[in-house]
Chain A
């Protein structure tokens, strides 16, 4: 039994579309975030300048920086560590306002080598900033961070 060429074409096209659709779905559901080290920073800023920018107008600053990759340079004022977490803080010690960086899983080991007083450049995805009612100060949060080399 031989299929007509038109029917054959339709079957091949349908199978091809099905395979492409499966690949697309598989890709969407298994794709992960790129290693932040490999991502290009949208902005490079000094920590204290960044904190000032958020304090002056956090709505504008959130529009500018949220979900962007930012390289922030400053002096480490505090390290908060738990079993699976290393958060590095660059704070304005006069006001208590701060930027905090949660490190990406694959960069936890390098984060554990950082000490208070170190001058560092950290690259991460900015989650935005807000005024904390609890701490009564402005804070800016970063996720998926890595030391910038």
Chain B
């Protein structure tokens, strides 16, 4: 009897631990808006907050816009200005979504799993639906996730001459990587 109770206790504790939301405060979001005319518009943000709930498939991230780091100071100033991301007015980029093929991911077994993610991405104060593919890598207790997709900047109300002239891509590539704890 005692043995059965112990086994049940271990099962419930491990299930509860497994079901806990996984987070990181050091996810990376990189974007590449370079074109053949300009190799400067690219940056990354290495202090993004991200979360993944293995039980529900919820996946989310929050990035502070001013934390995108460029090599070129002028480019960084432009990025934050009211003609681009307007980071004083819209200080964060937020994604909230779900892994829609959660059954394809076994968080208890090491492996690389292809995922489909659907959610809402908010940039520049405008929220648009986003569907993309990504991957989840399980190695022991460690779980990492990556996804890459493109967005149309005019969907998010970002339009200006540099985009029209082909110096900045109309559809920059966004890459997200997160190592969850």
User: Which residues of A approach B to under 8 Å, CB–CB?
Assistant: 28-33, 62, 66-67, 80, 82, 85, 87, 89, 98, 100, 102, 127-130, 132-135, 139, 141-144
Report the tally of A-B residue pairs with Cβ distances under 8 A. 78
Residues 32-62 of B contacting A (Cβ, < 8 Å): 40, 46-47, 49-51, 60-62
Alpha-carbon distance A132/B50, docked complex (angstroms):
10
Quick one: CB contact mask for B49-78 with A, threshold 8 Å, 1 for yes?
111000000001110101101011110000
Asked if residues B62 and A28 are in contact (CB atoms below 8 Å), the reply is no
B135 at the interface (CB under 8 A from A): no
Q: Is the CB of A31 within 8 A of B25?
A: no
Cβ contact of B51, chosen from A62, A66, A134, A139, cutoff 8 A? A134
Would B66 and A66 count as touching, CB distance under 8 A?
Answer: yes
Chain B residues whose CB sits within 8 angstroms of the CB of A82 once the complex forms? 26, 28, 179
Asked whether A98 lies within 8 Å of B25 as measured between CB atoms, the reply is yes
Which among A32, A66, A87, A143 has the greatest number of chain B C-beta atoms within 10 A? Answer: A143
Q: In the complex, A33→B104 CA distance in Å?
A: 45
B115 at interface by CB-CB < 8 Å? no
Q: Which residues of A contact B62 (CB under 8 A)?
A: 130, 132-134
User: How far is B18's CA from A83's CA once the two chains are assembled, in angstroms?
Assistant: 26
User: Which among A29, A127, A129 is the interface contact of B40 at CB below 8 angstroms?
Assistant: A29
Min CB gap A36→B, angstroms: 12
Q: Complex: how many Å from CA A130 to CA B61?
A: 14
Separation in Å of the A90 CB from the closest CB of chain B? 12
- B73, A100: Cβ atoms closer than 8 Å: no
Residues of B within 8 A of A134 (CB): 23, 49-51, 60-62
> Chain B contacts of A139 at CB under 8 A?
25, 49
CB-defined A-B contacts under 8 Å, sample of 11: A30-B72, A32-B71, A82-B26, A85-B46, A100-B47, A129-B64, A134-B49, A134-B60, A135-B49, A135-B51, A139-B25
CB distance from B91 to the nearest CB of A (A): 6
Output the nearest chain A residue to B38 by Cβ-Cβ distance.
A29
**In whole angstroms, what is the CA distance A30 to B69 when docked?**
15
| B92, CB-defined interface residue at 8 Å | yes
- CA–CA, A66 and B69, complex, Å: 14
1/0 contact string of B73-106 vs chain A (CB within 8 Å):
1100000000000000001101000000000000
Q: Does B112 contact A (CB under 8 A)?
A: no
Say whether A87 contacts B67, CB under 8 Å: no
Which residues does chain B contribute within 8 Å of A28, judged by CB atoms? 74
Q: Which of B26, B73, B94 is packed against the most chain A CB atoms within 10 Å? A: B26
A100 B92 Cβ-Cβ under 8 A: no
Please tell me if the beta carbons of B26 and A132 are within 8 angstroms of each other in the complex.
no
